[in-house]
Structure 1
């Protein structure tokens, strides 16, 4: 009988890297400036922490102005802990902090315009449940409101 092996998000992402290479760049990205308004879909996985789940997020002036939980976990976060719904700027700050703290894993992929498309963090590879994996899709710069 064949056994099904479930790969962690990071391993699955690593398998997809060659296919994404035409759109993403590892570690060296053009300088990205957080737009006044933008939206994106976020899949947040890994570890024992708040903010796990899949979200559709809209940001204005560096703050989350709308967050929709696309699964049960994300809906609970939006309803009870909306401060755990990040902006892309917040995710990049988390990446910079992990690098400053010499995390064992602090890696990112970036789109051609410099916005992050994947972020992988693991402060101690031998520790359980301290990792964070973020997949960013459906990123759109929105028209500024007056």
Structure 2
């Protein structure tokens, strides 16, 4: 009997949600965020801790990325060959569960993301601007 293997690539669903834990480096995107994505755009981002709430108060456009954007960042850093890139994936559907990027040319530039609570097809809850 053959075991089913994990897909080689992740198929991005039309609507999904996840918790993003971003803890490394000196960047605006630090903290735990609850994120809802629809049609490859973040339609809702909620700060789950003080750091995340402060980050969202900056009102920086597109501060909280989609999983596809995080993957693209990692692949861009990998193709530049400027440091260490590590992507861990879910064995079931290959969505990213952890992404680490450390460009060797700068100090405090690390990016570490842990993706949890990944859910496909959430109820529509669109807010006009990601906040609170």
* TM more than 0.5: yes
Q: Give the aligned partner of residue 53 of structure 1.
A: 31
The higher-RCO structure (CA 8 Å, 6+ apart) is 2
Q: Give the aligned partner of residue 96 of structure 2.
A: 116
Tell me by how many angstroms 1:82 deviates.
4.7
Q: What is the CA–CA distance in structure 2 between the aligned matches of 1:98 and 1:83, rounded to whole Å?
A: 19
Residues 1:101 and 2:50 are matched in the alignment: no
Q: What is the CA–CA distance in structure 1 between the aligned matches of 2:79 and 2:123, rounded to whole Å?
A: 33
Please point out which of 113, 124, 133 is paired with 2:112.
Answer: 133
Q: Give the aligned partner of residue 38 of structure 1.
A: 16
> What is the CA RMSD across the aligned residues, in angstroms?
1.8
Tell me by how many angstroms 1:144 deviates.
7.7
Q: What is the CA–CA distance in structure 1 between the aligned matches of 2:114 and 2:122, rounded to whole Å?
A: 24
Count of aligned pairs between the two proteins = 117
Return the TM-score normalized by structure 1. 0.74
- Structure 2: gaps of 5 or more residues: 1-5, 125-132
Q: 1:122 to 1:73 in 2, by over 3 A?
A: same
- Structure 1: gaps of 5 or more residues: 1-24
Query: Helix, strand or coil for the counterpart of 1:83?
Result: coil
